[in-house]
Amino acid sequence: MDHLETAPDQSARILELWAGFVPGKRIGSLVDGAILEGTGAALELIDPTNGTAFANFNDAGDAVVDAAMASATLAQRAWAAMTASARGRVLYEIGRLVRQNAEAIAELECRAAGRPIRDMRGEAQRVAEMFEYYAGWCDKLHGEVIPVPSSHLNYTRREPLGVVTQITPWNAPLFTGGWQIAPAIAAGNGVVIKPSELTPLSTIILGILCEKAGAPRGLVNVLAGQGSTTGAAAVGHAATALVVFVGSSGGGMAVAEAAARNLIPCILELGGKSANIVFPDADLDRAVLGAQSAIFGGAGQSCVAGSRLLVHRSVHAQFVERYAQAAGRIPFGHPAEPMTQIGPINNRRQFEKIDAMVARGVSEGARLAGGGRAGGALGQSGGFFYAPTILDGVLPQMEIAREEVFGPVVAVMTFETEEEAVALANATPYGLAGAVWTQNVARAHRVAAGVRAGTFWINGYKTINVMSPFGGFGKSGYGRSSGLEAMHAYTQPKSVWVETAENPPVAFGYSG
Ligand code: NAD
């Protein structure tokens, strides 16, 4: 368990944070340092543990988007005028404030998104690390001097793009918010971020902490609103210089199309259908545990979830038996309980989608080896509790083998040869992640090279870190929004030519 560096007055802090932006349980968008009421449709935030509304707001709408863009544009100019070292100090301070408020933020995310408190405590620390990591990059991103074959001094500058519009989903709003905001502002940009309309609160907190840490007011504006209205308005806004979209592949296509109309580049972080491959020579005890965390962690609401479990035919029967027994023992319940490892599904629509996909999998011939809608008190709670679910005997042509479920549902398939395993892993248009379990080093590296995916694990699953590039192949998206790659993605190079000759020849064509 991570050591938590928390303020002594945690209960006071959470009330302060909560009261600061949820007056009378009304929320709004964080624009230019203030909370603005939206003008669009009435929306509610629903507690996933009981299905009841706990806050409400109006969709931000065009006027709020305009105000956010104007604020980010002005703030970005002030931010870019600061020295890189001064910007780095602000990012470091944001990280410190996240650590100081970690317990309050974790509690809020647990309550609002239904995610287990033990996971949220860790995630709050990861978010602090994101700002700390990019704090270090601020004054280390520089251009180059290029030895051109003429009398010129030629150098490059890496300049920020301006205002970056970021759109994020509901599954890990705090984590994704930090992951996107930190590199964008480290590179000198302003941000307008629209988290999912289902989970805007933790991103609003991050925006507030950015300003508290010394960022110019309005450097990070947070829109509370829907995708098709507020999100689309932000993507299509004239001030947007880059769109970063984290969400479904369908949403990514719509956003990329809209951005293309303004010739705006995109980074797309989309869905997945990742394969977790188990060879018979693997340490099967560890593989059973790893394959559980791969799909059941976060109740499967993870883009990198190992939703396809490919097991060698020779160990398949014993593996599935042990796996099903172990899955039934994972602490599953209310996310605020300290031991809970699997909480509810975030929202009713997703809950029903998961259930319908499981039913279709069974009707197509898969065998339900455990799981389904929760029974007992959890089933009666009105919340969206779905037990860890194992569908065995899945064939490649079934929907459950091809489409993302985004829930705690694993599709188990078998293979005979390494070639077949790699071919099965690559048999979807997605390419986000994957893993192999084997003690054969050569095979591990062959499979890692053969599987088409942006992230791959050998004898492990789910480790990601802001220092390492993360992103998709194929329909899982393009571009990278972490590591040093993100600093490049969030800037553009400018080439500057300085004549150094006393009497240089004047050229009318391209020269050099
Ligand atoms: P979604 O595509 O429905 O929505 C994502 C976000 O986009 C939301 O904020 C939504 O309001 C907004 N949006 C939707 N249509 C829009 C439009 N036309 N213009 C602008 N904004 C629009 O996805 P979701 O259901 O919220 O999230 C689940 C999906 O996200 C899964 O597919 C999951 O794999 C993916 N995901 C990917 C990553 C990654 O890093 N690759 C991380 C987390 C989640």
> DSSP letter string over 7-47?
-TTHHHHHHHHHHHH-GGGB--EEETTEEE---S-EEEEE-
* Mean of per-residue pLDDT scores for the chain: 94
Has residue 13 got a pLDDT over 80? no
User: 250 or 506, which is more confident?
Assistant: 250
The mean pLDDT of 293-320, rounded to a whole number, is 97
Compute the distance from residue 315 Cα to the ligand 1 centre, in Å. 37
Residue nearest to atom 30 of ligand 1 (CA): 247
Position in ligand 1 atom list of the atom nearest CA 470: 40
Task: Pick from 166, 171, 475 the residue to mutate for probing ligand 1's pocket: most ligand atoms within 8 Å of its CB.
Answer: 171
Q: Which residues line ligand 1 (CB under 6 A)?
A: 167-171, 194, 196-197, 226-228, 231-232, 235, 246-248, 251, 254-255, 269-272, 303, 404, 406, 432, 472, 477
Residue nearest to atom 34 of ligand 1 (CA): 271
| pLDDT for position 224 | 97
Has residue 163 got a pLDDT over 50? yes
Has residue 449 got a pLDDT over 70? yes
The mean pLDDT of 338-342, rounded to a whole number, is 97
What would the pLDDT profile of 229-285 be if each residue is shown by its tens digit? 999 999 999 999 999 999 999 999 999 999 999 999 999 999 999 999 999 999 999
Has residue 4 got a pLDDT over 90? no
Is 303 tagged catalytic?
Answer: yes
Is 269 tagged catalytic?
Answer: yes
Sign of CA dihedral 207, 47, 328, 369: negative
pTM to 2 decimal places? 0.95
Compute the distance from residue 486 Cα to the ligand 1 centre, in Å. 20
What would the pLDDT profile of 428-442 be if each residue is shown by its tens digit? 999 999 999 999 999
Compute the distance from residue 506 Cα to the ligand 1 centre, in Å. 53
Has residue 24 got a pLDDT over 70? no
What would the pLDDT profile of 34-84 be if each residue is shown by its tens digit? 999 999 999 999 999 999 998 899 999 999 999 999 999 999 999 999 999
Which of 17-21, 148-152, 309-313 is predicted least confidently?
17-21
Compute the distance from residue 148 Cα to the ligand 1 centre, in Å. 45
What 352-360 contacts at long range (C-beta under 8 Å, 24+ apart), as own/partner pairs, is 353/405, 353/406, 353/407, 354/300, 354/386, 354/405, 354/406, 354/407, 354/408, 354/409, 355/386, 357/399, 357/400, 357/403, 357/405, 357/407, 357/409, 358/389, 358/391, 358/400, 358/405, 358/409, 360/399, 360/400
CB distance 422 to 447 below 8 Å: yes
Tokens of 395: 């064939």
Tokens 């270090």 belong to residue: 136
Has residue 19 got a pLDDT over 60? no
| pLDDT for position 5 | 34
| pLDDT for position 144 | 97
Amino acid found at 51? G
pLDDT class for 506, splitting at 50, 70, 90? confident
